[in-house]
Amino acid sequence: MDNKTLRNLREDLIGELGAINQYQEHIDETDNEEVKKILSHIRDDEKEHFAELTKIIKKMDEIQGEKFQKEEL
């Protein structure tokens, strides 16, 4: 297990969550449907990034992997 890489991946995960929340806030604050559509698409891309990072963390960290398996994630 490469601790520095895992730490960096977890920081990246935090960044993705922040981006998801920020895009959602901006979606909620606008009445412009074109802007909502674009921001929703970008938000959903960030959700995919979150899933990809979670997958690699699960693979690299045995204990984290066990916890995901326990929770059926």
What is the domain range of residue 55?
3-24+32-68
Total domain count for the chain? 1
- What predicted TM-score, i.e. pTM, was given to this entire model? 0.89
Q: What is the pLDDT of residues 5-47, one digit of tens each?
A: 999 999 999 999 999 999 999 999 999 999 999 999 999 999 9
The reply to whether 48 falls in a domain is yes
The reply to whether 17 falls in a domain is yes
Closest CA to 13 of 67, 73, 55, 42: 55
Predicted local distance difference test score (pLDDT) of residue 15? 98
33 CB burial (10 A radius; 0-12, 13-18, 19+): exposed
* Residues 9 and 53: beta-carbon distance below 8 Å: yes
The reply to whether 10 falls in a domain is yes
The reply to whether 73 falls in a domain is no
Contacts of 12 (CB under 8 A, 6+ apart): 53
